[in-house]
């Protein structure tokens, strides 16, 4: 099974009439960090959740600070087979602070959360909304960037360790659904505008360490409709496929409809 984002982009590109990549290497990456615009990122995360849930047996956990009001409009065009029963496979959590998020993630190993169905996809929307909040000190670990970096490392490590634990559980209970994957999104300080390539974001530098595979969304033009270039990097590690970076294009129309094209 290709990683969940590759799967989403392939499925969506296929639905919009384009042939899916025949030889686009499959990657065995278990965790992906989606870096880029928050609005579009969130739609992509939701599409990933729906796409996984539409496979029927995959339980998805979706962590976000802000309530989900509606499904992305593209859901029905991308995933025509989606049924209300599938939606029940997604469990939404709405933690308001990083401490709350950490408590929820840390308790996922408890039997109440692993049976009857063991989660096989964990999604965290907008890591920055938990990690980069002003004055949200709490658990110590230093001040300023150092505190943020430490918090980012703790959260990333906790997510990875939890996914590793759930993977072991899945391998024992339902091997076909292993491994448990991890998908998170991050956007550098929105106030700072486009990232300054000379000075990498200190939090992103820490996330890089824990998420070697990243999917970057970059604005590639468009006026009425937005065009985003999607770049999946770092997927070669540990796979037997020598895959080049994979690219797609997301076209977001003014009414929010997303179309995926393979490049």
Partner 1 sequence: MRSFLPAVAEQLFKDIQKTYEEKSQIPDDLLIALKFVFGSCAVQALDLVDKHSVTCLSSPSGRKAFQVMGGSGRLYTCFTSCHYCPCPAFAYTVLRRNEGLLCKHLLGVYLSQAMGLTQQESISDQDISTLLAGGATAS
Question: CA 232, 194, 68 angle in degrees (round to 5)?
Answer: 65
The residue from 1, 56, 76, 106 that contacts partner 1 (CB under 8 A) is 106
The residues facing 247 across adjacent strands are: 231
Q: Which is nearer to partner 1, 154 or 229 (CB)?
A: 154
Binder among 7, 73, 145, 216 for partner 1 (CB under 8 A): 145
Q: Is the dihedral of CA 11, 17, 18, 21 positive or negative?
A: positive
**Given the rule CB under 8 A, which of 41-49, 51-59, 147-155, 181-189 is the region that contacts partner 1?**
147-155
103 binds partner 1 per the rule CB under 8 A: yes
Nearest approach, Cβ of residue 103 and partner 1 (Å): 5
Alpha carbons 118 and 102: distance in angstroms, whole number: 19
What burial letters (b/e) apply to 80-91, b meaning 16+ CB within 10 Å?
eebeeebeebbe
Q: Taking CB under 8 A as the criterion, which residues in 64-83 touch partner 1?
A: none
247 binds partner 1 (CB under 8 A): no
Q: What is the DSSP string of 72-125?
A: -THHHHH-TT--HHHHTTEEEE---SHHHHHHHHHTTTSHHHHSSS-EEEEEES
With contacts defined by CB under 8 A, name the span among 84-92, 121-129, 154-162, 246-254 that binds partner 1: 154-162
CA dist 235 and 3 (Å) reads 10
Q: Does 146 bind partner 1 (CB under 8 A)?
A: yes
Give whichever of 66 and 146 is closer to partner 1, judged by the CB atom: 146
Name the minimum Å distance from CB 225 to partner 1.
40
C-beta atoms surrounding 33 within 10 Å: 23
Which lies closer to partner 1 via its Cβ, residue 99 or residue 225? 99
* Region 177-236 residues binding partner 1, contact defined as CB under 8 A: 202, 206, 209-210
Contact 213, 235 (CB under 8 A): yes
Residue 20: exposed, middle, or buried by beta-carbon count in 10 A (0-12, 13-18, 19+)? middle
Q: Closest CB to partner 1 among 16 and 97? A: 97
Does 122 bind partner 1 (CB under 8 A)? Our answer is no
Both tokens assigned to 87? 């939606």
Beta carbon of residue 232, minimum distance to partner 1 (angstroms, whole number): 20
Residue 94 near partner 1 by CB under 8 A: no
What residues make contact with partner 1 under the rule CB under 8 A? 99, 102-103, 105-107, 109-111, 114, 139, 141-142, 145-146, 149-150, 153-154, 156-158, 160-161, 164-165, 168-169, 202, 206, 209-210, 238
């Amino acid at each position: 099974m290709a990683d969940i984002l590759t799967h989403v982009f392939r499925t969506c590109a296929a639905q919009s009439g384009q042939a899916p990549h025949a030889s686009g290497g499959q990657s065995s990456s278990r965790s992906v960090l989606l870096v880029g615009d928050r609005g579009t990122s969130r739609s992509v995360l939701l599409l990933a959740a729906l796409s996984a849930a539409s496979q029927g047996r995959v339980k998805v956990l979706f962590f976000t600070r802000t309530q989900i009001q509606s499904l992305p409009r593209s859901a029905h065009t991308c995933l025509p087979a989606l049924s209300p029963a599938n939606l029940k496979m997604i469990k939404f959590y709405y933690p308001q602070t990083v401490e709350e998020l950490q408590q929820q993630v840390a308790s996922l190993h408890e039997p109440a959360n692993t049976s009857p169905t063991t989660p096989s996809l964990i999604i965290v929307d907008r890591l920055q909304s938990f990690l980069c909040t002003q004055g949200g000190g709490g658990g110590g670990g230093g001040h300023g960037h150092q505190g943020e970096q430490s918090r980012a490392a703790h959260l990333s490590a906790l997510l990875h360790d939890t996914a590793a634990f759930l993977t072991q559980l899945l391998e024992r209970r339902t091997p076909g659904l292993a491994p448990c994957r991890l998908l998170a999104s991050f956007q550098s300080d929105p106030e700072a505008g486009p990232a300054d390539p000379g000075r990498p974001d200190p939090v992103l530098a820490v996330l890089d360490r824990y998420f070697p595979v990243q999917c970057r969304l970059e604005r590639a033009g468009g006026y009425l409709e937005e065009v985003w270039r999607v770049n999946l990097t770092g997927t070669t590690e540990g796979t037997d496929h020598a895959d080049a970076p994979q690219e797609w294009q997301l076209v977001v129309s003014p009414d929010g409809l997303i179309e995926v094209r393979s490049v």
